[in-house]
Chain A
Amino acid sequence: MDRSSHSRSRRIAPFVALATAAALALAGCSSDSGGKKAEESAEGAAAGKADTPRMTVALVTHQSPGDTFWDIVRKGAEAAAAKDNVKLIYTADPSAGTQANLVQNAIDQKVDGIAVTLAKPDALKDVIAKANKAGIPVVGLNSGVSEWQKLGLMEFFGQDETVAGEALGKRLNEEGAKKAVCVIQEQGNIGLTQRCDGVAKTFSGTVETLNVNGTDMPSVKSTITAKLAEDKAIDYIVTLGAPFALTATQSVSESGSKAKVATFDLNKDLTGAISKGTIEFAVDQQPYLQGYLAIDSLWLYKNNGNYMGGGEQPVLTGPAFVDKSNVDAVAGFASKGTR
């Protein structure tokens, strides 16, 4: 390629781009259905703001990047922060060691309160003791319902995963299920394993677990399809995250199985599937509430010395069932990505 044609093509490029954009607009490439235009710009209720002095709170979670669930927790925390005149510092890392460093980082910043998830309690023990020593109130959320008091946390907001699993198991009995498969999208995750164990505890039929590769949807779909073909007796699929439930419905229709789908956790597409009847029900642990209450409780403690749950009992945010009977009430909030 000689020089002149190279520089010419460079000069032409912006015009080509412009012309293409114009052509697309003229050619009527816009979609008449769906899309942003169809989405209602339903803004969250704009509440007033507290006139208490500005305070800083750190929320440190074990979120892995890009998880819809944690996005909702964070939105709840941000809503509370905005109302309470709180500056929120959100940090997260799935590895326990890094999460402990992030808590230390918050202590070093001399924040007024720390909210932390206890996915791996032992790794956080020392750093929480340091925070207590520095006089920083610490609350727990989401995971660690059995450990929060031992570690010296003030309050806890979350769901007992085993209890949630047990509740789902009982529900399966009511639905008349005989054989269920519990789909784990992240092998070795304690919370997910507890859910499946909880289901097994109360469910009178048999439960098998199935590990799938959660970062590759086509593989999740194939694996569930394979499981349904391997064991034709399966009549209920229990997934542990909303996106996997939606994929499971595709596996069911492709394999011609009669299995029904139920799931833990919610998102906006899932509420649509529940009202259409392709998914039976979801067990919601109300992640928005966990984030909101964690921040709000630190504000209440600082400004009025209150303890939620009296400082003795955890504040349970789940399990709340969402099925056809109440999905319409939930759907509006889910479509905003807050429930």
Chain B
Amino acid sequence: MSMTQHADPAVTTPPAPGSKETDGRTAQRSLALRLLARPEVGVFLGAVAVLVFFLITAPPVRDGGAMANILYQSSTIGIMALPVALLMIGGEFDLSAGVAVITSALTASMISYQLTMNVWVGVIVALAVSLGIGFFNGWMLVKTGLPSFLVTLGTFLILQGANLAITKWVTGNVATDDISNMDGFSQAKALFASSFEVGGVQVKITIVWWLVFAALATWVLLRTKYGNWIFAVGGNKESARAVGVPVTFTKISLFMLVGFGAWFVGMHNLFSFNTVQSGEGVGQELIYIAAAVIGGCLLTGGYGSAIGPVFGAFMFGMVQQGIVYAGWNPDWFKAFLGVMLLGATLINLWVRQTATRR
């Protein structure tokens, strides 16, 4: 909880009663500085900088269709970055988030296809499986007291192997069968993977879901008791427990929230590409975590926002696609990505330091 601005009682000697405050710790700061100290402001400025940069260097980005494409890419990262960020604020992280997306998609596809069921049956079973994986992660963490890095690394490897082995065992191949001609597919596609037209530009529905989820997460984080619990367990677990925060419930439910996100993105993958390859998803977990960190969440927990990761994911999508729109040498692609992200993170850091320095 390094960034909170509340004065810490009982530790420091209080100023003599009646005397004017001179140490400045509790003095009112200017509105601009207080605004700059918000976790999402740094990344907001970083995102704007990246956007302006590519608007200048890559003319195709100025087109509405290009922006829709960039936002689509950002949304598939962003939907997962939200629960990952909440979990990070709650003091933990989840390395299994990337492959869990594919696990969910594989489950839905195989259940529907192999049992010749309406695809909604597969979708519901996949939700149960995803929440189950989240529960398992949280439960293991709470029961064993091991760091989440170890627990979820285990789950990551288990899921990576199980994705492949079960798919091969059930279908005889390493990719699932095409389910696009099955009952319920078009409904599910409408929910998870459709697009609609705005002013002549095709906009993907995931963008809408992304923003809806972000609004919801912000409300939960800032306006509900559960939101306070998240900050509390991430800041200091023992103190949180001492003041009556249900630490076990909060941690497990946060992991299940990541499970929900994995399910949603998994369903999007399935219904937009009709089949799923069992080896996908590896490495995505780091991109989600990166989006959350760029978005101003601290790796140590207790600090962050839900809006920050939205800009973090946008920045990722913008850089990734912007490089292509700009037509730069593709061999340098990863290096460009790294430099841009590091640069953006530095802006973020600088803004935060300037804002909190007095």
Using Cβ atoms and an 8 Å threshold, which residues of chain B touch A36?
113-116, 177
Contact for A34 among B161, B168, B181, B277, CB less than 8 A: B181
Using Cβ atoms and an 8 Å threshold, which residues of chain B touch A290?
none
Contact for A71 among B160, B173, B180, B273, CB less than 8 A: B173
A216 within 8 A of B: yes
Report the minimal beta-carbon distance from A64 to chain B, rounded to whole angstroms. Answer: 7
Using Cβ atoms and an 8 Å threshold, which residues of chain A touch B330?
184, 208-211
Q: Let me know if B281 and A215 touch, CB within 8 A.
A: yes
Using Cβ atoms and an 8 Å threshold, which residues of chain B touch A250?
272-273
Using Cβ atoms and an 8 Å threshold, which residues of chain A touch B356?
none
Cα of A215 to Cα of B179 in the assembled complex, Å: 21
Q: Let me know if B320 and A230 touch, CB within 8 A.
A: no
B240 within 8 A of A: no
Report the minimal beta-carbon distance from A19 to chain B, rounded to whole angstroms. Answer: 14
**Which residue of chain B lies nearest to A241 when distances are taken between CB atoms in the complex?**
B277
**Which residue of chain A lies nearest to B281 when distances are taken between CB atoms in the complex?**
A215
Contact for A229 among B115, B279, B325, B334, CB less than 8 A: B325
Cα of A38 to Cα of B69 in the assembled complex, Å: 36
A30 within 8 A of B: yes
CB 8 Å contact bits of B105-121 with A (1 = contact, 0 = none) = 00000001111111111
A35 within 8 A of B: yes
Cα of A201 to Cα of B206 in the assembled complex, Å: 41
A50 within 8 A of B: no
Between B119, B173, B281, the greatest number of chain A beta carbons within 10 A of the residue's beta carbon is seen for B173
Q: Let me know if A187 and B334 touch, CB within 8 A.
A: yes
Q: Let me know if B327 and A29 touch, CB within 8 A.
A: no
Cα of A328 to Cα of B275 in the assembled complex, Å: 21
Report the minimal beta-carbon distance from B43 to chain A, rounded to whole angstroms. Answer: 20
Q: Let me know if A217 and B273 touch, CB within 8 A.
A: yes
Contact A34-B174, Cβ < 8 Å, known A217-B280, A222-B321, A229-B63: no
B72 within 8 A of A: yes
Using Cβ atoms and an 8 Å threshold, which residues of chain A touch B115?
30, 35-36
B172 within 8 A of A: yes
Q: Let me know if B269 and A217 touch, CB within 8 A.
A: yes
Q: Let me know if B202 and A254 touch, CB within 8 A.
A: yes
Between A35, A38, A39, A243, the greatest number of chain B beta carbons within 10 A of the residue's beta carbon is seen for A35
Cα of A85 to Cα of B183 in the assembled complex, Å: 44
Cα of A219 to Cα of B73 in the assembled complex, Å: 6
B216 within 8 A of A: no
Q: Let me know if B202 and A219 touch, CB within 8 A.
A: no
Q: Let me know if A226 and B325 touch, CB within 8 A.
A: yes
Report the minimal beta-carbon distance from B56 to chain A, rounded to whole angstroms. Answer: 15
B345 within 8 A of A: no
Q: Let me know if B202 and A34 touch, CB within 8 A.
A: no
A2 within 8 A of B: no
**Which residue of chain A lies nearest to B168 when distances are taken between CB atoms in the complex?**
A71
**Which residue of chain A lies nearest to B72 when distances are taken between CB atoms in the complex?**
A222
Contact for B118 among A30, A184, A267, CB less than 8 A: A30
Q: Let me know if A229 and B269 touch, CB within 8 A.
A: no
Using Cβ atoms and an 8 Å threshold, which residues of chain B touch A217?
269, 273, 277, 280
Report the minimal beta-carbon distance from B194 to chain A, rounded to whole angstroms. Answer: 12
CB 8 Å contact bits of B26-70 with A (1 = contact, 0 = none) = 000000000000000000000000000000001010010110011
Q: Let me know if A66 and B283 touch, CB within 8 A.
A: no
A54 within 8 A of B: no
A7 within 8 A of B: no
Interface residues of B in 71-86 (CB under 8 A from A): 72-73, 76
Q: Let me know if A210 and B324 touch, CB within 8 A.
A: yes
Cα of A68 to Cα of B176 in the assembled complex, Å: 10
Q: Let me know if B280 and A37 touch, CB within 8 A.
A: no
Cα of A34 to Cα of B185 in the assembled complex, Å: 11
Between A38, A71, A216, the greatest number of chain B beta carbons within 10 A of the residue's beta carbon is seen for A216
Q: Let me know if B326 and A230 touch, CB within 8 A.
A: yes
Q: Let me know if B58 and A218 touch, CB within 8 A.
A: no
Contact for B320 among A208, A223, A229, CB less than 8 A: A223
**Which residue of chain B lies nearest to A209 when distances are taken between CB atoms in the complex?**
B330
Contact A230-B325, Cβ < 8 Å, known A31-B182, A215-B280, A254-B202: yes
Contact for B279 among A215, A221, A246, A254, CB less than 8 A: A215
Interface residues of B in 330-352 (CB under 8 A from A): 330-331, 333-334
Q: Let me know if B116 and A226 touch, CB within 8 A.
A: no
B137 within 8 A of A: no
Q: Let me know if A230 and B173 touch, CB within 8 A.
A: no
Using Cβ atoms and an 8 Å threshold, which residues of chain B touch A312?
none
B178 within 8 A of A: yes
A269 within 8 A of B: yes
Interface residues of B in 236-269 (CB under 8 A from A): 268-269
Q: Let me know if A66 and B277 touch, CB within 8 A.
A: yes
A67 within 8 A of B: yes
Interface residues of B in 274-289 (CB under 8 A from A): 274-275, 277-284
Using Cβ atoms and an 8 Å threshold, which residues of chain B touch A30?
115-118
Cα of A230 to Cα of B73 in the assembled complex, Å: 16
Q: Let me know if A216 and B279 touch, CB within 8 A.
A: no
Report the minimal beta-carbon distance from A158 to chain B, rounded to whole angstroms. Answer: 21
Using Cβ atoms and an 8 Å threshold, which residues of chain A touch B112?
31, 35
Cα of A8 to Cα of B62 in the assembled complex, Å: 60
**Which residue of chain B lies nearest to A208 when distances are taken between CB atoms in the complex?**
B330
A24 within 8 A of B: yes
Interface residues of A (CB under 8 A from B): 24, 29-39, 64-68, 71, 184, 187, 208-211, 213, 215-219, 221-223, 225-227, 229-231, 243, 246-247, 250, 254-255, 267, 269, 272, 337
User: Could you write out 18 A-B pairs with CB less than 8 Å apart?
Assistant: A29-B117, A29-B118, A30-B116, A31-B182, A34-B181, A35-B113, A35-B116, A36-B113, A64-B279, A66-B278, A71-B174, A215-B282, A217-B277, A218-B76, A222-B321, A226-B60, A229-B69, A229-B325
4 more contacts with CB within 8 A, not counting A36-B116, A37-B116, A65-B279, are A35-B112, A218-B72, A219-B76, A222-B320
The 3 A-B residue pairs with the shortest CB-CB distance, nearest first, are A66-B279, A35-B116, A34-B182
